[in-house]
Amino acid sequence: MNRRFNRGTVTILTLSFMTLARSAYAQSPNLFATFGQATPEKSFTFTPSAGGASFGLSSAIPVNFQYQTTNGLGPVGINIPALLTLSSVNQGSLITEGGFLIQPLQNIEMRFTSLSAPSNAGDLLRLSLTTGNLITRPGSQTASLTGTESPTGGSVVNFASDYLDFSVPLQNKNFSISLTSVEPRIADGGNGFLAPFTATGTGNFGSSPLPPPKNQIPEPGTLALVALGGLLFTRRRKHAA
């Protein structure tokens, strides 16, 4: 077989593959979606009860949701009115460490559904985590709910969406929600859980790489490179023939 043909073909195919690979596989996690409450209601609620505790929203609340990456719904960064639901339960008891109160949570489920045209019922984002942490300080009126997928085990984070493709391999999946206007102020409930409180929330979601949009069209630069490789491959075959 012609060695020049082989080396050239391999080079072209390798360059094409590397371009496609680089466009899909960055190592550093980045932001793909954000949300903020659209009203000041203290809808996030921590509720201890006999033998357990829950943290979430008693009913869906209106939020402003934005994709911060190319998506299958519309332009990046536009404000999408949405409804948010959230539920979780405690995983074990309250932990006290270094002046902080940490309430481990499990079975964290979040869902953002679009309220705006053209899709009034699309799932913008669904999130489920096996474990996360509610971190705060005694006497504070703020807290944070966070979760990170650990490569060594621990929390498992799953994302799903009607407009982003989470079927591709993703790493470093994470989210973080800040809570303010905590009322009453944070306290150890004395029963193994935080004392009950309500709060307002806003948050971010990320992964590496950024999830591609569903029904993605490759970038023009990538398409051009692959087409060039194909043309050169065809010319070489004709010369060889």
The alpha carbon dihedral of 6, 25, 211, 170 has a sign of positive
Binding mask 105-124 for other proteins (x = CB under 8 A): --------------------
- For the CB of residue 161, give the shortest distance to other proteins in the complex, in Å: 16
- For the CB of residue 150, give the shortest distance to other proteins in the complex, in Å: 8
Q: Which of 84, 76, 73 is nearest to 30 (CA)?
A: 76
- For the CB of residue 89, give the shortest distance to other proteins in the complex, in Å: 19
Q: What is the DSSP string of 3-29?
A: HHHHHHHHHHHHHHHHHHHHHH--SS-
Q: Give the one residue of 126, 137, 214, 236 binding other proteins; rule: CB under 8 A.
A: 137
Q: Which of 42, 35, 61, 71 is nearest to 185 (CA)?
A: 42
* Distances, alpha carbon 134 to alpha carbons 34, 73, 103, 104, 198, in Å: 19, 32, 5, 6, 13
Which residues in the 159-218 window bind other proteins by CB under 8 A? 172, 174-183, 185, 200-206, 210
- For the CB of residue 137, give the shortest distance to other proteins in the complex, in Å: 7
- For the CB of residue 35, give the shortest distance to other proteins in the complex, in Å: 7
Is residue 97 within 8 A of residue 103, CB to CB? The reply is: no
Q: Give the one residue of 9, 54, 144, 216 binding other proteins; rule: CB under 8 A.
A: 144
Q: Which of 213, 205, 206, 207 is nearest to 74 (CA)?
A: 213
Among 3-11, 32-40, 114-122, 223-231, which window interacts with other proteins (CB under 8 A)? 32-40
Count of residues in contact with other proteins, rule CB under 8 A: 59
Residue 147, strand partner residues: 175
Rounded CA-CA distance 196/212 in Å is 39
Neighbours of 127 (CB within 10 A): 22
Burial group, residue 184, by CB count within 10 angstroms (0-12, 13-18, 19+): exposed
Any contact of residue 64 with other proteins (CB under 8 A)?
yes
* Distances, alpha carbon 239 to alpha carbons 103, 226, 230, 231, in Å: 70, 20, 15, 13
Q: Give the one residue of 1, 50, 59, 98 binding other proteins; rule: CB under 8 A.
A: 98
- For the CB of residue 40, give the shortest distance to other proteins in the complex, in Å: 4
Among 114-122, 133-141, 160-168, 230-238, which window interacts with other proteins (CB under 8 A)? 133-141
Any contact of residue 90 with other proteins (CB under 8 A)?
no
Residue ranges in contact with other proteins by CB under 8 A: 28-31, 34-40, 42, 64, 66, 68-70, 76-77, 79, 95, 97-100, 102, 133, 135, 137, 139-144, 146-148, 172, 174-183, 185, 200-206, 210, 219
